Amino acid sequence: MRFYSQAFLYDDPWSIVSYAFFMRYPNPFASHVLSCDVISRDVSPSGSLITTRLILKSGSLPKWAQGLVGRAESWIIEESEVDPAGRVVRCVTKNLDHVKVMRVEERITLQQTDDGRTLQNTEARFVSGIGWGLTKKIESHGLARFKANIQRSRQGFSMILDLIRQSRAQTMTMGAPNVYVHSHHRTASVEDPPATDTENKSQETTKTRGSWLNPRSWVQSR
């Protein structure tokens, strides 16, 4: 088994970082992500938002691995929990196919710090059950690829964060309540479409269960 761990601190508040986390696909730095679909979403009795997403990713294979894996695509299951009371997001992703060649499990937590920033902890495990003397080689390859992709993932995530900051900044200039917003550079903005009467009624219905059922409300909550 190979193991990876990293911590990263964002200056942005937890509500904005959490929103960006679920909006990170698509982005220009994640062209390997072919699709991302929500297959279930519910609110737990404690008030946490529980979401399961199915993600299809593609990738290139080294020549020595092409005979072990039939295609360079993999289905990923992502299970997450947003705890608004504890101000924490917990997310686990696992590959559903090619598991005999290698199982990859990634765990991410986004936790609000005492000074209002957001701490991300990432852990990943790589386990191969292929045998034939290839176990260590496959696990080491998986770890190396994961490390190589971290920087691009960070760039894509930062781009989504910047778009959200600018969207919030535009809202502030139109007279919305003042909130923490910071932008490093200007790019195309993202604006939420106006709510319809049906959406307004739906929000009123779910108010007792918490507005966390709608991810767009996260950046408006604080």
- Which of 70-74, 198-202, 206-210 bottoms out in mean pLDDT, i.e. has the lowest? 206-210
Q: How far is CA 209 from the centre of its chain?
A: 23
β-sheet bridge partners, residue 106: 93, 124
Mean pLDDT of the chain: 83
| Span 125-145, pLDDT tens digits | 999 998 878 899 999 999 999
Q: Is 122 helix (H, G, I), strand (E, B) or coil?
A: strand
| Span 91-123, pLDDT tens digits | 999 999 999 899 999 999 999 999 999 999 999
pLDDT for the residue numbered 170: 86
| Predicted model pTM | 0.75
Look at residue 202 and tell me whether its pLDDT is greater than 90.
no
Question: Could you count the other beta carbons within 10 Å of the beta carbon of residue 131?
Answer: 8
pLDDT for the residue numbered 51: 98
Look at residue 221 and tell me whether its pLDDT is greater than 50.
no
pLDDT for the residue numbered 179: 41
Q: Is 31 helix (H, G, I), strand (E, B) or coil?
A: coil
Tell me which residue has tokens 């964002």: 10
Tokens of 65: 């691995």
CB 38 within 8 A of CB 151: no
Torsion of CA 54, 58, 59, 63, to 10 degrees: 110
* Structural domains of the chain, with CATH: 2-221 (3.30.530.20)
CB 179 within 8 A of CB 36: no
Q: Would you list the DSSP string of 74-112? A: EEEEEEEEEETTTTEEEEEEEESSSTTT-EEEEEEEEEE
Q: Looking at residues 48-75, what average pLDDT do you find? A: 88
| Span 159-187, pLDDT tens digits | 999 999 999 888 777 654 444 334 333 33
pLDDT for the residue numbered 66: 77
Q: Could you tell me which residue, 190 or 214, shows the higher pLDDT? A: 214
| Span 147-159, pLDDT tens digits | 999 989 999 999 9
Tokens of 132: 């034939």
Look at residue 220 and tell me whether its pLDDT is greater than 60.
no
DSSP secondary-structure letter at 205? H
Look at residue 1 and tell me whether its pLDDT is greater than 70.
yes
pLDDT for the residue numbered 130: 87
